[in-house]
């Protein structure tokens, strides 16, 4: 069962088709009737909103888990027109297309987590999380994490994988693996990297990359990058092999992190650890090469303070190459 879906929406018929596809997806994940009903409300209303009120866009779905609980994240991405006062759109009765004006309010009520960002001339991104039972919002400690993980067009599985770990409330460790090529064998390589990452949560990052290299020799290999951010010490440790891009972003700056050449599981000439100061109010952005490298967050007013899932969604919407597997991972401390 695929853990992500990307559904383009440009007219109301596609919104209906998205609802039917997601109903089958819900059954495949074993969700109960109540949760499936909430998801159906969110998909229907966000799909119709894209079809009727925007230039069209995409719904991205990603399955979630927290202990034994399951959930789904739904991102709605459009490229305009955008709204200056988006809170007005959430008020029941507000409409610009002659509808009843209850759609986005219904989405918010059906969601356990709901977040938005909208900017005139650029577009809107909405995030909804629906869970089988209310999530523990403290599970991530002092951190918030958002991610996009989408297969390239016409592929059934994504060759990229990512993961996160929390050893202490003030420390988060994250990784991205981009399997060589596309499809099933790339996905096997990146999934193996995640297995090793989760098996050795306390190993130093260069040694962990070496463990991955040895454990992935039977795969086609992957580009891998691992970061560990310590909020108390205000430090980030980083080790990477291959073409995973990573940056520390603030309102005023963006600093790229250094990866070494090679392919984990194939050829790794060197494993090196780099450390950087962690700025207050900053965010870590990591991505596979499915995104263009010349992106910037400065033009999106107020986005850096919003949920990291919104940041990941905007970067995917505006900078995806559209011809490769794509993963975007964004981490920031809770306010």
Instruction: Please check the confidence at residue 140 and state whether its pLDDT lies above 80.
Output: no
User: Which residues, at least 6 apart from 41, have a Cβ–Cβ distance to it below 8 Å?
Assistant: 106, 107, 110
Query: Which domains does the chain possess?
Result: 4-131 (3.30.565.10), 143-333 (3.60.40.10)
Cα 160 to Cα 153, 187, 307, distances in angstroms:
14, 6, 22
262-283 pLDDT tens trace: 999 999 999 999 999 999 999 9
3-state percent helix, strand, coil for the chain, nearest multiple of 5: 30, 35, 40
Q: Quote the mean pLDDT of the chain.
A: 90
Share of the chain above pLDDT 90, in %: 71
- Cα–Cα separations (whole angstroms), residue 335 to 11, 103, 227: 38, 29, 21
Q: Among 126, 110, 91, 131, which residue's Cα sits nearest to residue 41?
A: 110
Provide the percentage of residues in the chain whose pLDDT is more than 70: 94
Number of H helices, E strands in the chain: 7, 15
Give CA–CA dist 58/80, Å, rounded: 12
Residues 24-33: pLDDT tens digits? 888 888 888 8
Higher-pLDDT residue of 96, 198:
198
Reported as type and span, the H/E element at residue 3 is none
Least-confidence region, from 68-77, 89-98, 299-308? 89-98
Mean pLDDT of all residues in 74-81: 92
Q: What are phi and psi of 296, to 5 degrees?
A: -150, 145
pTM above 0.75, yes or no: yes
Start-to-end CA distance of the chain, whole Å, equals 35
Contacts of 3 (CB under 8 A, 6+ apart): 62, 63, 149
Strands (E) in the chain, as ranges, are 4-9, 57-66, 69-78, 113-119, 123-131, 143-150, 160-168, 171-179, 222-230, 235-241, 245-249, 254-256, 274-277, 283-287, 326-333
pLDDT at position 100, please?
A: 39
Q: How many residues does the chain have?
A: 335
Q: DSSP code of 257?
A: P
The answer on pLDDT for 82 being more than 60 is yes
């Amino acid at each position: 069962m695929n853990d992500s879906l990307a559904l383009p929406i440009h007219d109301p018929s596609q919104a209906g088709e998205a609802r039917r596809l997601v109903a089958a997806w819900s059954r495949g994940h074993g969700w109960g009737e109540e949760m499936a009903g909430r998801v159906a409300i969110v998909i229907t209303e966000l799909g119709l909103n894209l079809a009727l009120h925007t230039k069209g866009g995409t719904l991205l779905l990603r399955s979630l888990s927290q202990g034994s609980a399951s959930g789904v994240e739904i991102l709605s991405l459009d490229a305009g027109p955008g709204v200056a006062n988006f809170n007005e759109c959430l008020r029941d009765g507000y409409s610009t297309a002659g509808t009843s004006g209850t759609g986005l309010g219904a989405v918010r009520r059906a969601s356990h987590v709901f977040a938005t960002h909208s900017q005139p001339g650029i577009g809107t991104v909405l995030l909804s999380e629906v869970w089988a039972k209310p999530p523990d919002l403290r599970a991530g400690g002092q951190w918030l994490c958002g991610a996009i993980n989408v297969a390239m067009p016409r592929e059934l599985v994504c060759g990229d994988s990512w993961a996160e770990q929390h050893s202490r409330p003030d420390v988060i460790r994250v990784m991205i693996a981009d399997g060589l090529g596309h499809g099933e064998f790339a996905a096997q390589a990146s999934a193996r990297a995640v297995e090793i990452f989760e098996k050795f949560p306390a190993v130093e990052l260069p040694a962990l990359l070496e463990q991955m290299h040895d454990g992935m020799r039977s795969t086609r290999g992957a580009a891998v990058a691992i970061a560990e951010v310590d909020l108390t010490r205000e430090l980030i440790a980083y080790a990477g092999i291959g073409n995973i891009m990573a940056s520390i972003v603030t309102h005023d700056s963006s600093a790229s992190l250094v990866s070494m050449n090679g392919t984990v599981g194939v050829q790794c000439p060197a494993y090196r650890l780099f450390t950087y100061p962690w700025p207050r109010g900053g965010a870590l952005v990591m991505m596979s090469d499915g995104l263009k490298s010349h992106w910037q967050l400065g033009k999106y007013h107020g986005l850096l303070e919003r949920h990291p899932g919104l940041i990941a969604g905007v970067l995917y919407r505006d900078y995806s190459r559209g011809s490769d597997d794509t993963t975007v991972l964004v981490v920031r401390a809770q306010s």
